[in-house]
Chain A
Amino acid sequence: AQTVTQSQPEMSVQEAETVTLSCTYDTSESDYYLFWYKQPPSRQMILVIRQEAYKQQNATENRFSVNFQKAAKSFSLKISDSQLGDAAMYFCAYRSATRGSQGNLIFGKGTKLSVKP
């Protein structure tokens, strides 16, 4: 069974600085997707960034980028120029891309990010 681990329950960053959130996962599959979701106090899960395992190039979305290390099964999120609105719970998630497997998301426990003004 696949598992996702986020080893940092809480992180803090100064406004305008850069922060990196860690995520590792365990799988025997070669085809899968990885995601970072943001959950602000409003509770709605918002997709931040997505990475296909077959792509070597790291995904980037504006101030958000990932460091995807397939061999190490590591998928970290870097937030540059942090803003107050980035404060939220961040969840790393895995989804199998293997035909015949369940397509549900498997989430880590989350990292609570605080942004200091």
Chain B
Amino acid sequence: KAGVTQTPRYLIKTRGQQVTLSCSPISGHRSVSWYQQTPGQGLQFLFEYFSETQRNKGNFPGRFSGRQFSNSRSEMNVSTLELGDSALYLCASSRDWGMSAEAFFGQGTRLTVV
């Protein structure tokens, strides 16, 4: 059974550009969550999608957005990139939406903004 797949693994962008990251959950999983990991702030929750609907959202500016497709694959978009957006972006999939659902993580996308 394939795990959570995130693409691309590495990305270098320039300030002001926008970027789209992709996450394919484990087959059969319908919930996808996104987290940002930085040395200073640690792991912070961005948002969670279930059945193509955003269920929860963390405390990030509107430049961060996401969506989920009918096949449960998810994308997150960051517009007008800032140097501080440089981070490891982790995606986690769960079978269902809810507190008891176990989360399985991908290997992340390392975004560097220059």
Contact = CB atoms under 8 A, between A and B. Distances in A.
The secondary-structure label for the interface of chain B is strand
Interface stretch (B17-25, B74-82, B104-112): B104-112
Given A103-B97, A103-B99, A44 B45 contact: no
Interface residues of A, number: 24
B42 A110 contact: yes
Interface in A35-70: 37, 42-47, 50
The secondary-structure label for the interface of chain A is loop
B101 to A, nearest CB: 7
A109 B56 CA distance: 22
A43 B99 contact: no
A50 B35 CA distance: 19
The size bracket of the interface on B is 20 to 34
Contacts of A47: 102-104
A59 to B, nearest CB: 13
Interface string A75-117: 0000000000000000100011110011111111110000000
A69 B26 CA distance: 34
Contacts of A102: 45, 56
Nearest to A103: B99
B45 A97 contact: no
B42 A43 contact: no
Given A42-B107, A47-B103, 4 more contacts: A43-B107, A43-B110, A103-B97, A104-B48
